[in-house]
Amino acid sequence: MAKEMHKDEKDFSVAVTWKCADVKLLLVSLFSLCSLITLFQLFPSTSSFLSCFSTVDSRPLQFAALSPPPPPPPPPRSVHPLKAEQLTNDSVVKRSFNPVGSAAYLFIQMGAYRGGANNFVVIGLASKPLHVFAKPQFECEWIAHGGGGGESASIFASGYKILPDWGYGRVYTVVVVNCTFPTAVGLDGSGGRLVIHATTGGGGDREVTTAERFVAVEEAPGSVDASSFSAPPKYQYLYCGSSLYGNLSPQRVREWLAYHARFFGVGKSHFVIHDAGGVHPEVIAVLRPWMEKGMVTLQDIREQERFDGYYHNQFLVVNDCLHRYKFMAKWIFFFDIDEFLYLPPKTSIDSVLASLAGYSQFTIEQMPMSSKLCQSSDYGKTPRYHFFLLRLVVVIVCEIFHRFQFSAVRRRMWGMEKLVYRNAKRGVRRDRKYAIQPRSAYATGVHMSQNVAGRSTHQTEARIRYFHYHGTIADRREPCREFVNATAVTTHDGTQYVLDDTLRRVAGAVKRSGQSDQWIVYSIIQLRIRAKSDSDPVRGRSKSGSSISVCTAAWHLLVMSFLCCCALTFRLLTLVRTLHSLNAFKPVQFTFRSVLIRGVCCKPS
C-alpha cells in the first residue's frame, strides 16, 4: 500500500512538472513576442525599417509628380548708382566715395525687464566700433495705455548705457541700457509700452545720423505686481550658466548637476542653462528629469550665433540672466559646468553666505586640476561604454526581480574621483568666479561685476573655493590619459601637480544622497545614450560620420530582449524546484495559482 502511495505521488509530481514546463515555454514565447512588438513600435516609419535591408528609395513615383512647383525667382535687387569722380575748375580731382550697405546692426535686443517701479533695463548687442569710437545715444519713452483703449501722453527719460565686456567684444559688444523715469510708470494697472530711440551719433557717417525706434517692453493691463520688487525672493540661490556649445559629455553634466543640487539644496535653488548648440539629445536626457522636478530651466539661445560676439556672446547671456531673475533669487552664482564649488568640512552654504551678507559681491578662488592625470591604483576602475549594454541588462534584471540596486552603476568612478592632481604652480594669476546679490547690480561680467552698488570682497579662500577641470566637459572619451603613482608629479612642460583628493572624498556622499541615481534610471529608459558616447570623440558617431543607425539600435534591443528572456526563464525554472518541495501538501490545497505565485514571487526554501 505504501509503495502504491509513493508511486502515485511521484507520478503526480512528474505530471505537474511537465505541465509547468509547457507553461514556461508559453510564457517565454509570449514575452519574446511582446518584446518584438515593442521593438517595432520604436521605428518611426516603415521606410526606416526597410533601410536596414535596402538603400533603394521606396517612395512611390506618384509623389514626385505631386511635388509643388519651384518658387519664382526673386525680383532683381536695386543697384546703387556709381558716383563718379569730378575735375574741379582749379584742376583738382575730387574723388568720390560710394557707401553701400551697413557694417553691423545698430542694436540687437535679447531681453528687457523691469528693475523697479520707475526703472527698466534693456540688454542687447551693438556695433563694437560704433560704441568705442562714436557716441551713440539711447532715449527711453514710456507710453501708457489710455482708459478707452488709446494711448495717453508719453514720458521720456535719457537712457544710460553700460558696456560690461571690458574690451572683449568682437564685431558686436554688449550694451545694457538703463531707463530710469522721474516717476513710477505702469503701476496703476493700465499697462503700456517702453519704446527705445537709438541713434548712431554720427558714428557710421558724420553727415548722416541714423535713428531707429523700437518697442522693448509691452505690458498688458494689470500684469505688473508692484509688491514683487520688495517681496522675499523665491530662491535662495540661483545659478546662471554661460553659453554651452560643442560636443558636451552627458556623463560630466550629470555629475555636475547631482553634485551642485546637493551643494545648494533641493527646493531652495535653481539652475538656468543656456544652450548655444551644446545641449544635444543625450544631454537633454540628463537634464529632463531635473526640468520636470522644477530645478532646471533650459533656454535655447542658438540664434545668437548669427552675431559675432565674444565667446558665444557670454557677456550678453550672463547680463540677461542677471536682470531676468533679479527679483527671484537672493544670491546668483556665475561659474561654468566644468567647475565644482567646495566648502570646508563642517560648514554649509547657508552659514558661509550668512557671513558674507554684508557684501554685494564676493569672488571665489580657483583650484586648477589636471584633466588627464590619474592614480595608478585606479587603473581598471574606469569602465567605458563598451560595457553599457551589459550594465543595462543588469539593471533590467534587477528590476524584474524587485531587487533594484545601483551597485553596478555606483561602482563607476566619476570624473572628479579620477582626476585628483592639482596644479601647484605658484605666482600665477588665475581667473576667479563670483556670486552677487542681484538687487544691488546694474550689470555684470564673466569673472566679476564692475557695476554693483555696495562692497565687494576677494578674501574668501578659507570659506569657499572651486575646482576647475578645464576641458573635461567637452571630452567624450575617458578622461584618464596618464596613470602615475606619486603624490607630486612634474610634467614634461614643467608644470607641478600635487595629489588632492578633496572632491573624491565628497563624491561618495553625493552618490549616497540619491540625487544622482534616479536620473540614471531616466537616462536608461530614454535609450538616448548611445553605446560609445564616451569613447567616440566625434559626438558618438561612427567612423563613417553617420550617427548610430536604426539597425544598430534594433540589434541592441534584440540582444537585450533575448537576455531578459533568459533571465525570466531562469526565474521560472525555480518553479519546478518549488514543486518538489510541495509534496507534503494535500492535493486539495495544490492549485496552479498558488504554485505560480509561490514560485515567481517568493524565494524557494
Nearest-Å Rg of the Cα atoms of the chain is 33
Is residue 57 predicted with pLDDT exceeding 60?
A: no
435: left (phi over 0), alpha (psi -120 to 50) or beta: beta
Same domain, 508 and 572: no
- Cell 592625470 -> residue: 373
In-domain check, residue 316: yes
pLDDT band at 209 (very low <50, low <70, confident <90, very high): confident
211: nearest Cα among 118, 107, 306:
107
In-domain check, residue 65: no
In-domain check, residue 259: yes
Is residue 71 predicted with pLDDT exceeding 80?
A: no
Is residue 364 predicted with pLDDT exceeding 50?
A: yes
In-domain check, residue 330: yes
CA distance 17 to 13: 6
588 Cα distance to chain centroid: 62
Residues 6+ apart with CB under 8 A from 418: 374, 378, 382, 479, 480
Same domain, 214 and 140: yes
Same domain, 499 and 450: yes
**Amino acid 559: pLDDT:** 66
CA distance 444 to 164: 6
Is residue 430 predicted with pLDDT exceeding 70?
A: yes
Is residue 526 predicted with pLDDT exceeding 70?
A: no
Same domain, 162 and 198: yes
CA distance 527 to 520: 11
- The neighbour count for residue 62, using CB atoms within 10 Å, is 7
Same domain, 184 and 274: no
In-domain check, residue 395: yes
Question: Domain boundary residue among 176, 200, 229?
Answer: 229
Is residue 489 within 8 Å of residue 453, measured between CB atoms?
A: no
Is residue 485 predicted with pLDDT exceeding 80?
A: yes
CATH number of the domain at 139, please: 2.60.40
Question: Domain boundary residue among 191, 206, 229?
Answer: 229
119: nearest Cα among 496, 342, 425, 439:
439
Strands 482-484 and 373-375: parallel
CA distance 479 to 391: 20
Same domain, 183 and 305: no
Is residue 67 predicted with pLDDT exceeding 70?
A: no
**Amino acid 488: pLDDT:** 93
Same domain, 498 and 582: no
Question: Domain boundary residue among 229, 247, 270?
Answer: 229
In-domain check, residue 539: no
| CA torsion through residues 171, 447, 353, 260, sign | positive
CA distance 24 to 573: 8
Number of H helices, E strands in the chain: 15, 25
**Amino acid 361: pLDDT:** 98
Is residue 270 predicted with pLDDT exceeding 80?
A: yes
Residues 6+ apart with CB under 8 A from 57: none
Decide: helix, strand or coil at residue 126.
strand
pLDDT band at 570 (very low <50, low <70, confident <90, very high): low
DSSP state letters, 48-73: HHHTTT--S----HHHHHTSPPPPPP
Note the pTM of the prediction, 2 decimals: 0.71
Same domain, 401 and 510: yes
In-domain check, residue 542: no
pLDDT band at 81 (very low <50, low <70, confident <90, very high): confident
Tens digits of residue pLDDT in 295-304: 999 999 999 9
CATH number of the domain at 510, please: 3.90.550
Tens digits of residue pLDDT in 130-163: 998 899 999 999 999 875 555 678 999 999 999 9
At 400, list the grid cell: 524584474
Domain extent for 208? 108-229
| Type of residue at 162 | I
Same domain, 457 and 321: yes
The strand order across the sheet containing 119-127 reads 108-114, 119-127, 172-180, 151-162, 137-145, 192-199, 211-219
Same domain, 490 and 590: no
Same domain, 316 and 427: yes
Total length of the chain: 605
Same domain, 288 and 191: no
Q: Which helix (H) or strand (E) holds 588?
A: none
Number of domains in the chain: 3
CA distance 244 to 250: 12
Decide: helix, strand or coil at residue 346.
coil
In-domain check, residue 408: yes
CA distance 167 to 163: 9
